C-alpha cells in the first residue's frame, strides 16, 4: 500500500549495509518515524482516511530520500529510514531537515497529523548488530514522543547503551547493578 519495504526486508538491508559501512568506513543514519495520534484518524474518519494518510506520508518520505537509501514500514504507522551520510554531523542536520520536510507533507494532507522521529548516527566501528541499533533508535523515537510529539531526537550509536539504560525504570537499573 505504501511502497515501502516490509520490516523483514528492511532488517536484511540494514544488516548488509552495516557490514558494507564497516568495510568502507561509511557513516549511517537510521531513523524511525511514527505518526502522532494516528489512531484518532482511523477512529474519527475511518480506515480509508488512515490509508490516505499513510500513502501521503510514504510518498512524501520517498521523494526526500535518495535511490540508494532504504525506506521501510515496520508497523501500522511506524516507518524507518537508513541512509549514508558524510560527515557525521551531516546526519544530524539531515535528520532535522527530513523531519521538517515530512512534517510539511503531513500538515498539508487531507487529514493533517504530525510525526515524531528518532534518529541514530552510526559510526563504522560501532560493533552493534542490527537488532540492538533498531532498539536504540526506537528508544530515541519514544523519547521524542514523551517530549511532546512532533519532534526529532538524535542519538549516537556509541552511546546506545546509555540510551537503553536511561530509558529503563529505576527499579530495573538497580536490579542490574
pLDDT band, very low/low/confident/very high, at 174 (cuts 50, 70, 90): very low
Residue listed under C-alpha cell 566501528? 125
Domain carrying residue 35 = 5-176
Q: What end-to-end distance do the CA atoms of the chain give, in Å?
A: 46
User: For the chain, how big is the Rg over CA atoms in Å?
Assistant: 16
Q: At a CB cut-off of 8 Å and minimum separation 6, what does 118 contact?
A: 31, 32, 137, 138, 139, 140, 141, 142, 143, 144, 152, 153, 154, 155
Count up the domains in the chain and report the number. Answer: 1
Residue range 37-57: mean pLDDT, rounded:
94
CATH number of the domain encompassing residue 42? 3.30.70.270
Residue range 137-158: mean pLDDT, rounded:
94
Strand-pair partners of 116: 34
Q: At residue 99, does pLDDT exceed 50?
A: yes
Global pTM value: 0.86
pLDDT of amino acid 41: 94
What is the C-alpha separation between 157 and 174, in angstroms, rounded? 24
pLDDT for 70-96, tens place per residue?
A: 999 999 999 999 999 987 677 888 899
Q: At residue 66, does pLDDT exceed 50?
A: yes
Give me the phi and psi of 125, to 5 degrees please.
-100, 20
Amino acid at each position: 500500500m505504501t511502497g515501502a519495504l516490509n520490516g523483514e526486508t528492511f532488517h536484511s538491508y540494514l544488516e548488509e549495509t552495516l557490514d558494507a559501512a564497516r568495510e568502507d568506513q561509511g557513516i549511517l543514519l537510521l531513523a524511525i518515524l511514527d505518526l502522532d495520534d494516528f489512531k484518532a484518524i482511523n477512529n474519527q474518519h475511518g480506515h480509508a482516511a488512515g490509508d490516505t494518510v499513510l500513502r501521503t506520508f510514504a510518498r512524501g518520505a520517498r521523494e526526500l530520500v535518495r535511490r540508494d537509501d532504504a525506506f521501510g514500514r515496520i508497523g501500522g504507522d511506524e516507518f524507518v529510514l537508513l541512509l549514508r551520510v558524510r560527515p557525521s554531523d551531516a546526519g544530524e542536520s539531515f535528520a532535522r531537515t527530513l523531519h521538517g520536510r515530512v512534517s510539511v507533507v503531513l500538515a498539508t494532507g487531507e487529514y493533517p497529523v504530525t510525526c515524531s522521529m528518532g534518529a541514530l548516527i552510526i559510526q563504522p566501528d560501532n560493533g552493534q548488530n542490527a537488532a540492538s541499533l533498531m532498539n536504540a533508535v526506537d528508544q530515541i523515537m519514544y523519547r521524542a514522543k514523551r517530549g511532546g510529539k512532533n519532534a526529532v531526537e538524535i542519538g549516537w550509536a556509541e552511546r546506545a547503551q546509555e540510551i537503553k539504560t536511561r530509558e529503563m525504570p529505576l527499579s530495573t537499573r538497580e536490579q542490574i547493578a
